[in-house]
Amino acid sequence: MFVDPHTHHFVSNYSTLELIRDEGFKRVFILAYIPVKPLHLSTLVDLFRWLVEVEPLRFKDLGIELRVGLGIHPRNIPPNLEGFKDLEDWLVRADFIGEVGLELGSDDEVKVFSEMLRLAKEFDKVVIIHTPRRNKELITKKVIKYVVLSGISLDRVVIDHISREVVKEVIDLGTYVGLTVQPGKLSSDDVVNLVRDYPELIDRGLVNSDCGRDPSDPLAVKKTYTVLLNSGLGLSDARKLVSDNALKLIK
């Protein structure tokens, strides 16, 4: 049984979802993100309605447990944040907050990210945080700074898309660590090597696919499980990385 704790499967077609179900995926998390900068805040309201009101029915039909994350991704900040209160009414209905974070680290991004952290804390929700491909070290440091400033409980935080350059810092911070197996991010072998070098990841790592519209493998979590077992990792430790940690994080 597998869990994929970071996907954008709301853009996946039905046969992809049938495939992951048939391959043993019991639960998936979907995180709010659209590949275009919204012109209006109301675009996000409709996105949130789609994820909260429409997608759960599709997944229920398929027999996959769905957990829905809502939030403003740093690439999805509309030019005008008037009406932000309308979004809060949706965020409170989410299973968790995500995906949020920083891409370039601009003042606007910091303002929105800080607000997302504040709301996650206020609503007592887990928050899943994006880190970018570019300037990984610099921006991850900035993410860590605002996580700490927010005062949110660190066992309610996932810092995602972690690479070897920043893994030590995130482990030392004490949050969960998202390990994304996707072209341009980690390979399954990278995960094996990271887990070997940092055994703390066994209890805190969340292997995920980030599967959505970009090139990605909907079965990345399952394939990584096989590679972890082949590398000699014990069954129960491997299970933590591909299922148990995520099940524990969001009931």
Residues that bind Zn ion (CB under 5 A): 210
Rounded to whole angstroms, how far apart are CA atoms 249 and 155? 8
Q: Based on CB atoms, which residue is closest to Zn ion, 99 or 233?
A: 99
Alpha-carbon distance of 43 to 29, in angstroms, equals: 21
Q: Which is nearer to Zn ion, 6 or 142 (CB)?
A: 6
* Neighbour count for residue 237 (Cβ, 10 Å): 16
Closest to Zn ion by CB, 95 or 210: 210
* Strand ranges of the sheet holding 96-101, from the earlier edge strand across to the other edge: 2-7, 25-31, 65-70, 96-101, 127-130, 157-159, 176-180, 205-208
Min dist CB 232 to Zn ion, Å, is 30
Shortest Cβ distance from residue 18 to Zn ion (Å)?
22
**Residue 43 or 231 with smaller CB distance to Zn ion:** 43
Shortest approach of Zn ion to residue 7 CB, angstroms? Answer: 8
For the chain, state the CA radius of gyration.
17
Question: Which residue minimizes CB distance to Zn ion?
Answer: 210
- Nearest Cα neighbor of 59 from 14, 95, 110 is 14
Supply the minimum distance, in Å, between the C-beta of residue 64 and Zn ion: 18
Question: Cα-flanking dihedrals φ and ψ of residue 92, to 5°?
Answer: -65, -20
Give me the least distance between CB of 211 and Zn ion, in Å please. 9
Measured between alpha carbons, how far apart are the two ends of the chain, in Å?
15
What CA–CA distance (Å, rounded) separates 64 from 59?
Answer: 5
Instruction: Return the amino acid letter for 109.
Output: E
User: In the bound complex, what is the minimum distance in angstroms from residue 51's beta carbon to Zn ion?
Assistant: 13
Nearer CB in complex with Zn ion: 31/152: 31
- Nearest residue (CB) to Zn ion, 105 versus 178: 178
3/95 Cα distance (integer angstroms): 15
